Amino acid sequence: MESEDYRISFFKPTTQQAKKNRNLIIKLFIAWAVAIFGFQVLLKIIEKPVPEEALITFSSAWENIESGEATQSDYKAAARSMIQVMGKITIKPGDYAALRDGTGWILSEVYPEDELPDLQQDVQYFNQLKEQITSLRDEDYLETKELIISKAAPALGIGEGTLLAQLLAIGLDDNLQIFSEENREKIPGIMSLYLTHNRSVLTDTIFLGFPFHYFYSAVFLLMFFIGLCWIYCHKTDKLHAKLNFLEKVD
């Protein structure tokens, strides 16, 4: 009894049409892989670590603080940069705690000494409220936060209506004057970690209103994929016509 084998292997095609179809798919797959992964490799090759302006400002101010030659402006500049990092959603809890200690300590250094106990008391009360409230619209919570902002923000050269002022009030620790040596040593590394970014001409160039690497990944690759699909259909139609390959229509 005669039997026919209808099994089809992509890697071992048995007909000319199947071989050419396999080769076309492999070529298009290679083009797709190069477009995606090749671009990522290129980004890695040409990227360079570039510090944010806040890191440059912090590094200069912190150097003066550590040497004991800091001015009021140095303390305020360092604190503003640290608060900016505290607002990053990716910050680790340990890093946040270190920056919190450092910011509170700097505030205690620039704040009028005779008014510091009152501010400390307000901060302690505010931190207690944070643990107790069930809504961020709690009147007592909001009033205490605004009170702290009105006292602390001007001392660091921060506008009371800014996001930095909000982050400052939320980030102050119960004891402003405590700053452990461990946290003090960690802070420069923390600042460098969160304020240094790998950049290149591909990330800095603006194309059609977007950074080029974003446009390439979000728009161009989508269009490229659609183009590959069209090429496959077009080439397949030409191949079928060339080989007189006709589909059976019922």
Span 167-199, pLDDT tens digits: 999 999 888 888 999 999 999 999 999 999 988
Mean pLDDT, rounded, of the chain: 88
pTM above 0.75, yes or no: no
- The span from the CA of 169 to the CA of 153, in Å, is 8
Q: Is pLDDT of 74 > 80?
A: yes
| pLDDT, position 14 | 67
What's the average model confidence in pLDDT over 210-214? Answer: 90
| pLDDT, position 5 | 53
Cα dist. 167→80, 84, 158, 219 in Å? Answer: 10, 8, 11, 35
Contact 27, 20 (CB under 8 A): no
- The span from the CA of 102 to the CA of 168, in Å, is 12
- The span from the CA of 34 to the CA of 6, in Å, is 34
Q: Which one is predicted more confidently, 150 or 241?
A: 150
Beta-bridge partner residues of 210 = 207
Cα dist. 37→31, 71, 201, 217 in Å? Answer: 10, 49, 18, 11
Which tokens in the block code for residue 150?
């009105």
| pLDDT, position 7 | 60
Helix (H, G, I), strand (E, B) or coil at 210: strand
Q: Is pLDDT of 248 > 60?
A: no
Least confident of 2-6, 21-25, 82-86, 184-188: 2-6
Place of tokens 């960690």: 186
Which amino acid, 243?
A: L
| pLDDT, position 246 | 60
| pLDDT, position 102 | 94
Q: Is pLDDT of 121 > 90?
A: yes
Helix (H, G, I), strand (E, B) or coil at 175: coil
Angle, vertex CA 83, rays to CA 122 and CA 65, nearest 5: 95
Quick one: which of 60, 35, 6, 83 has its CA closest to 224?
35
What's the average model confidence in pLDDT over 145-164? Answer: 93
Backbone dihedral region of 198: left (phi > 0), alpha (psi from -120 to 50 degrees) or beta?
Answer: beta
Q: Is pLDDT of 1 > 50?
A: no
What's the average model confidence in pLDDT over 128-153? Answer: 91
- The span from the CA of 185 to the CA of 203, in Å, is 32
| pLDDT, position 250 | 54
